[in-house]
Structure 1
Amino acid sequence: MRVLAAGDHFVAPDLFETALRAEPGLPGDLETVHLTSGWPSEPFGPVGSGDSVVDEASGTEEELVEALAGVRVCLTQMAPFTARVFDACPELEMVAVCRGGPVNVDLDAADRAGVAVAQAPGRNAAAAAEYAVAMILAAARHVPYADAELRDGRWRGDLYAYDRAGLELAGTVAGLVGYGAIGRIVARVLRAFGAEVLVADPYTDAATAAADGVRLVALDELLRASSVVSLHARLSEETRGLIGERELGLLPHGAVLVNTARGGLLDHAPLPEALRSGRLGALAVDVYDVEPPPEDWPLRGLPNVVATPHLAGATRQTAHRAAAIAAGEAGRHLRGEPLAHPANAAARRATEEVVS
């Protein structure tokens, strides 16, 4: 039984193998082979051609196909599973992707090949939620800007002036766009600060929100009422460009906007003017429409922008948790048990067959 641990420099192959070896009841002839891609030292991006292009992938189709020779199960984070890869690897049965959404896998091609794909929801929920709160505080209180000014030898006492002072969370209305695992943790933290929390999410019901001490509202109502807005929605055709010029115009003057989810949720074109005019008091972003941002990025150098290089999920606990969830799914497959987190039709069919 050959298994490929296709890791990178965050979730390394050794983490996958260690987590898999801890699974009970594995075949005695289990052999694990390793493949390491260049991420995060090398940016991820689209991989593939024609009708089968996957996103946020690292490595090449060629090296993955070579590593998959004789492999029945693969654990990975960002390996590019395109139609070409599935076609070239007929022995492959299952791919366990340690991400909340397997965007690096062509799920239709996996279905055609009869390969089950599993995912890892919630693997970085705590890390991403903590980072979002950190970005809210940093933007609302001008922390990075004040730090940079002091390091450059400027004592900016004028930032204490009323028209430059920041926002505190106590008593502030904070709006969360998206209320999944990450949004719910952020809400708890913001409420602990004393903020009133509104949420907009078509997949959440009012009773669930009320039980959490937050209020479910329509997006426009959230934007009009919230001095702080943090994005936590998944990127889809429905949510692409969700916050654009019209939506920015609904925000209270001087509001703080934070995006640690996906760059495509924001229409970036109106942001520079909104920030220069003060319509948007501060923007904190960890994700971008183009990653990394180009040298002529129009937000570069604006004092009311906090920008970090897609680090929200970067904790050691996330790496271990991701490997453990993927290994758990691989273990279930190898033991003939139903998958906990099926991501495609082939995985759901296999799970139903085991249950029945």
Structure 2
Amino acid sequence: MLRIAVLDDFQAVAADFADWSRLPGEAEVVGFADHLDDEDAVAARLAGFDVVVAMRERTPFPRSLLERLPELRLLVTTGARNAAIDVAAAADCGVTVCGTGAHPTGPVELTWALILAVARHVPTEDAGVRAGGWQRTVGTDLAGATLGVVGLGRLGTRVARIGQAFGMDVVAWSHNLTDERAAEAGVRRVERDELLATADVVTLHLVLSERTRGLVGRDELARMKPTAILVNTSRGPIVDEAALVEALHEGRIGGAGLDVYDREPLPVDSPLRNAQRTVLTPHLGYVTRDTYTVFYREVVEDVAAFLRGEPVRVIAPA
């Protein structure tokens, strides 16, 4: 019998978003609704599985782990890439790595949910109403304010367009952004320091890499307006988390909306959990019905194609 492990199925919905009965032959699909950080625990859990389905980059698969899973034949990641998988090591271990497509609008929509929630103090006012209170804060207008988009790619461009619909002045920066590319998106390219100094909302839409890790640190936070909002729906390590907590604690920025963190799930003792003027979500950017439909439907397609000896959406070593 083929044994398939589905990792980080927090909502226990993997079985609902695809027809696993389409797989040829008899298969046992086991979903795990909890997350394991310890490599020994992960190795013990996955022993005996032929196929593992990884949810994005939550569970790392370094060489040391892959070498402890001799029965593993196929590793499927949701999404088209996964920096947490050592693809070269997988190839050395005889493990095929495949990906899936995605639905692009979820992270964009959550970005705006966070911007609006921070700007209008939605969690604070919601809690106040439930506790019998009324009108405790004064919100920030977005119309006429400046939106700074760091990373004007597929997602950043969508975020920029919505900012324009709110009547915001939209500026953008990234390492390779040109004036022409910015103009195509209807925004102005500015240098990073100018964006940080002038934006009322700074939103990050970059891939995590060596040159983006720690991109927003103490110096960058110090350049921001004391009323500015920082939003990160990309990857936690793009922001120096300790520096952000310090800036929030000292009131040096206006607030933050965060969907991603250095460690996920966010540790119980993380100081971010008690940080003022923040809205925190548990990496929900991609967690939508349409995205999960694409993820799990294509996971089943990947497994079926692999069993036929014709793997699809293969992620090859760089």
1:254–1:280 Cα contact (<8 Å) kept: yes
1:173–1:226 Cα contact (<8 Å) kept: yes
> 1:264 is aligned with what amino acid?
P
Cα shift at 1:180 = 3.4
> 1:147 is aligned with what amino acid?
D
Q: Distance in 2 between matches of 1:67 and 1:75?
A: 10
2:144–2:167 Cα contact (<8 Å) kept: yes
* 3-state SS of paired residue (1:167): coil
* Structure-2 residue corresponding to 1:4: 4
1:35–1:67 Cα contact (<8 Å) kept: no
* Structure-1 residue corresponding to 2:19: 18
Q: Distance in 1 between matches of 2:19 and 2:194?
A: 48
List per-residue Cα deviations over 1:147-206 (Å, max 9, x = no partner).
Answer: 22233333336x3xxxxx432222221112223333232222222212222222235544
* Structure-2 residue corresponding to 1:96: 76
Question: Are 1:300 and 2:280 matched, yes or no?
Answer: no
1:218-229 to 2 correspondences below 5 Å: 218-229=191-202
* 3-state SS of paired residue (1:270): helix
* Structure-1 residue corresponding to 2:139: 166
* 3-state SS of paired residue (2:28): strand
* 3-state SS of paired residue (2:141): coil
Question: Which residue of 60, 72, 76 maps to 2:42?
Answer: 60
Cα 1:263–1:84, aligned 2, differ >3 Å: closer, same or farther? closer
> 1:288 is aligned with what amino acid?
Y
2:6–2:14 Cα contact (<8 Å) kept: yes
Cα shift at 1:315 = 1.9
Cα shift at 1:228 = 0.3
Question: Which residue of 18, 29, 33 maps to 2:28?
Answer: 33
> 2:258 is aligned with what amino acid?
V
Cα shift at 1:232 = 1.9
Question: Which residue of 83, 87, 95 maps to 2:63?
Answer: 83
* Structure-2 residue corresponding to 1:325: 298
> 1:173 is aligned with what amino acid?
T
> What percent of counterpart residues are identical?
35
1:1-356 to 2 correspondences below 5 Å: 2=2, 4=4, 6-7=6-7, 8-10=9-11, 12-15=13-16, 18=19, 21=22, 29-38=24-33, 42-45=34-37, 47=39, 60-68=42-50, 74-77=52-55, 81-83=61-63, 86-87=66-67, 93-120=73-100, 123=102, 125-156=104-135, 159=137, 165-290=138-263, 291-295=265-269, 297=271, 300=274, 302=276, 304-331=277-304, 333=306, 339-340=312-313, 342-345=314-317
User: When the two structures are aligned, how many residues end up with a matched partner?
Assistant: 314
Q: Distance in 2 between matches of 1:142 and 1:234?
A: 29
Q: Distance in 1 between matches of 2:38 and 2:235?
A: 15
> 1:274 is aligned with what amino acid?
A
Cα 1:60–1:145, aligned 2, differ >3 Å: closer, same or farther? same
* 3-state SS of paired residue (1:280): coil
1:120–1:322 Cα contact (<8 Å) kept: yes
Q: Which is worse superposed, 74-83 or 188-197? A: 74-83
Structure 2 unaligned regions, length at least 5: none
Cα 1:82–1:15, aligned 2, differ >3 Å: closer, same or farther? farther
Cα 1:79–1:227, aligned 2, differ >3 Å: closer, same or farther? closer
Structure 1 unaligned regions, length at least 5: 49-58, 160-164, 349-356
Q: Distance in 2 between matches of 1:329 and 1:205?
A: 38
2:5–2:49 Cα contact (<8 Å) kept: no
TM-score (norm 2): 0.82
Cα 1:99–1:44, aligned 2, differ >3 Å: closer, same or farther? farther
1:16–1:327 Cα contact (<8 Å) kept: no
Cα shift at 1:75 = 4.1
1:61–1:80 Cα contact (<8 Å) kept: no
1:284–1:307 Cα contact (<8 Å) kept: yes
* Structure-2 residue corresponding to 1:55: none
* 3-state SS of paired residue (1:185): helix
Cα shift at 1:43 = 3.8
Cα shift at 1:145 = 1.5
TM-score (norm 1): 0.74
Q: Which is worse superposed, 85-94 or 256-265? A: 85-94
> 1:95 is aligned with what amino acid?
L
List per-residue Cα deviations over 1:249-277 (Å, max 9, x = no partner).
Answer: 21123111112222212112333443355
